[in-house]
C-alpha cells in the first residue's frame, strides 16, 4: 500500500513538471474564478494563512511587504486553510472580515482550500512539485514565484515575511535576477 501511495504521489508531482503557475486558476475568497495569468510578469508571494494560529500576526507583515513592493510588481496572496489544528474554522466571509479588520489585509485572498492531502488544488501541487518536502507542514509556509511563473524559494512558517532572506529573494525576483 505504501509503495502504491508513493508512486501515486511521485506521478502526481511529475505531472506538474515543466508547467508554471500560469497554467492554474483559483477561486477568490469572494468565489470568483481567477487565472494566475492575471499575474503574468509579477512576482508572487503565496502563503497559506490561518486566523487562529500563533503565526497569524504575520498577516500584518505580509501586508506591509505587499504595500512596500506592490508598485514594483509584487503580489502577496493568502490561501486560507483549516488543515492544521482547525485554526481557520470560519467561513470565507468571516475570514476576509477578520483579515481586513484585524490586520488591514488588502492583498488577494483565495477561497478556503485544503493545502494537504489529495484534495489540495492544482496550484498547491505545483508549488510543492519542485520541493524536497512534498507537503505543507503548518500555517504560513511561504512560496516565492518569479515573473516566469516558477517557484524560486520556499520559506518555513517561522520565517517572517520581512526577514532579510525573504526581502532579498523578493528584490532579486523583482529585478529578474531569479
- Active-site residue, selected from the candidate residues 43, 45, 53, 77: 53
The helix or strand, by DSSP H or E, that contains position 167, with its residue range, turns out to be helix 164-174
Q: What pLDDT is recorded for position 18? A: 55
Answer for the pair 138, 58: CB distance below 8 angstroms, yes or no.
no
Bridge partners (DSSP) of residue 129 are none
Q: What pLDDT is recorded for position 12? A: 42
The helix or strand, by DSSP H or E, that contains position 111, with its residue range, turns out to be none
Q: What's the rounded Cα separation, in Å, for the pair 61 and 114?
A: 23
Q: What pLDDT is recorded for position 178? A: 87
Q: According to CATH, what is the number of the domain 2-174?
A: 3.40.30.10
Mean pLDDT (10-residue bins), the chain, 178 residues: 40 56 96 96 98 98 98 98 96 98 98 93 92 87 96 96 98 95
Q: Where are the beta strands (DSSP E) in 36-176?
A: 43-49, 74-80, 142-145, 151-155
Q: What pLDDT is recorded for position 134? A: 81
Domain boundaries, the chain: 2-174
Locate cell 508554471: which residue?
A: 20
Query: Is 99 among the catalytic positions?
Result: no
Amino acid at each position: 500500500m505504501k509503495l502504491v501511495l508513493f508512486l501515486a504521489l511521485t506521478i502526481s508531482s511529475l505531472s506538474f513538471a515543466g508547467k508554471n503557475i500560469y497554467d492554474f486558476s483559483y477561486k477568490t475568497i469572494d468565489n470568483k474564478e481567477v487565472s494566475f495569468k492575471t499575474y503574468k510578469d509579477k512576482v508572487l508571494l503565496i502563503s497559506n494563512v490561518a486566523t487562529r494560529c500563533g503565526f497569524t500576526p504575520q498577516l500584518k507583515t505580509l501586508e506591509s511587504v505587499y504595500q512596500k513592493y506592490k508598485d514594483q510588481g509584487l503580489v502577496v496572496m493568502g490561501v486560507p486553510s483549516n488543515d492544521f489544528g482547525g485554526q481557520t474554522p470560519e467561513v470565507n466571509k468571516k475570514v476576509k472580515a477578520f483579515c481586513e479588520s484585524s490586520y488591514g489585509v488588502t492583498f488577494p485572498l483565495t477561497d478556503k482550500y485544503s493545502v494537504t492531502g489529495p484534495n489540495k488544488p492544482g496550484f498547491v501541487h505545483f508549488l510543492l512539485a519542485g520541493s524536497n518536502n512534498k507537503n505543507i507542514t503548518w500555517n504560513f509556509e511561504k512560496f516565492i514565484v518569479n515573473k516566469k511563473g516558477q517557484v524560486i524559494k520556499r520559506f518555513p512558517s517561522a520565517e517572517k515575511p520581512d526577514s532579510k532572506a525573504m526581502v532579498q529573494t523578493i528584490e532579486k525576483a523583482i529585478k529578474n535576477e531569479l
